[in-house]
Structure 1
Amino acid sequence: MKALTEQDIRSSFVNCSKGEAKRLPLPRDFEELPWDDLDFLGWRDLSAPGRSYIVTEHEGEPAGISLRFPSQQRGFLHRSMCSLCLTTHPGSGVSLMTARKTGPAGRDGNSVGLYMCTDLACSLYVRGKKKVDSGARFKESLTTEEQIARTVDNLHAFVAKLFS
């Protein structure tokens, strides 16, 4: 992913107001982000439980998305799989993330959702740069590059639903 500035990120949000985008916190480690290893920028809002953000590319431009997810914890024995990167996690490692649609549909309260890694570190899991605590990535016959492409395709399909 191309490195973005704070202004790039704040002006990219498509499903929240400019005021909301101006007030949202950036990732704590913003200055040290491994941009070359990221297919999208994702982070949780530590000041607002159940809120996360993603910035990805849509039609050649950065597109920021405000997400919500339930803050309830699942039991440790429960396992779920991320729909983006196909990593399995125990407990609450995967959450149903919902995003308000853009335009009139979003103003009418319509949203789309997808099960994602709660920490939004899909890019790092696929590359093996982050390991899952008591979880696993399945051994796959796809190369790392093919897995990255699949993750990006899955994310772009989700983002496209926001605009439809």
Structure 2
Amino acid sequence: MLPLTERAIRASFLNASRKEVSDLSLPAGFDELNWDDLTYLGWVDPKFPKRAYVVVEQEDGSVAGVFLQQGEKRTGSRAQCSWCDDVTLTNDVQFFAARKAGAAGRKGDTVGTLVCANFGCSAVVRKLPPLAYTGFDREAARTERIRRLGENVRGFLRTLTD
């Protein structure tokens, strides 16, 4: 992911009001982020723990962001993250809902997804997968997982503008 400025992030949101954008807090350690290790930037707002934000670079090089609301914590069996598709993680998966952009969002239409609670998908897909069989190309599998993660996040954002 290309490095982003605070201004670019704030300007990228598809479904947030000006007030919500002005109220957002950037993630802790924003100035020290290693952008090369991120497929998308996601964080929970420290001032508003039920609010979260995701920003991703689009195929055309533009940046799109989304404002999310965190659902209630689940108990019971662990769900699979819809973005990184990892089934071996020990961390929680959380339900997030996003208002649709434009008139649909103003009417109250939302889209939901299950995502790693700490938005750690970028780190998950960059780990070498286990050797599945003799001759398995672990590097190619990692590259494909990174590509698919970006595709899944961008696909979710597209559902907000449909």
TM over 0.5: yes
CA distance in 2, matches of 1:139, 1:50: 38
User: Which residue pairs with 1:61 in the alignment?
Assistant: 62
Secondary structure (helix, strand or coil) at the match of 2:13 reads coil
User: Which residue pairs with 1:108 in the alignment?
Assistant: 107
CA distance in 2, matches of 1:16, 1:52: 11
Paired residue type of 2:9:
I
User: Which residue pairs with 1:99 in the alignment?
Assistant: 98
CA distance in 1, matches of 2:27, 2:161: 25
Larger strand fraction of residues: 1
TM-score, length-scaled by structure 2: 0.86
Secondary structure (helix, strand or coil) at the match of 1:21 reads helix
Match of 2:158 among 157, 160, 164: 160
CA distance in 2, matches of 1:156, 1:107: 22
User: Which residue pairs with 2:10 in the alignment?
Assistant: 10
Change (3 A) 1:138 1:112: farther
Paired residue type of 2:120:
A
Task: Give the share of equivalent positions with the same residue, in percent.
Answer: 40
Structure 2 residue runs of 5 or longer lacking an equivalent are none
Structure 1 residue runs of 5 or longer lacking an equivalent are 130-136
User: Which residue pairs with 1:29 in the alignment?
Assistant: 29
Paired residue type of 2:75:
R
Give the drift of 1:73: 5.0
Match of 1:144 among 139, 142, 145: 142
TM-score, length-scaled by structure 1: 0.85
Secondary structure (helix, strand or coil) at the match of 2:160 reads helix
Secondary structure (helix, strand or coil) at the match of 2:55 reads strand
Q: Cα deviation per residue 1:131-164 (whole Å; 9 max; x = unaligned)?
A: xxxxxx7876661100111111111111110010
Query: Over aligned residue pairs, what C-alpha RMSD do you find?
Result: 2.1
CA distance in 2, matches of 1:124, 1:72: 23
Change (3 A) 1:139 1:41: farther
CA distance in 2, matches of 1:12, 1:44: 17
CA distance in 1, matches of 2:69, 2:90: 20
Paired residue type of 1:21:
V
**Is 1:84 equivalent to 2:83 in the alignment?**
yes
The answer to whether the 8 Å contact 1:49/1:71 transfers is: no
The answer to whether the 8 Å contact 1:11/1:18 transfers is: no
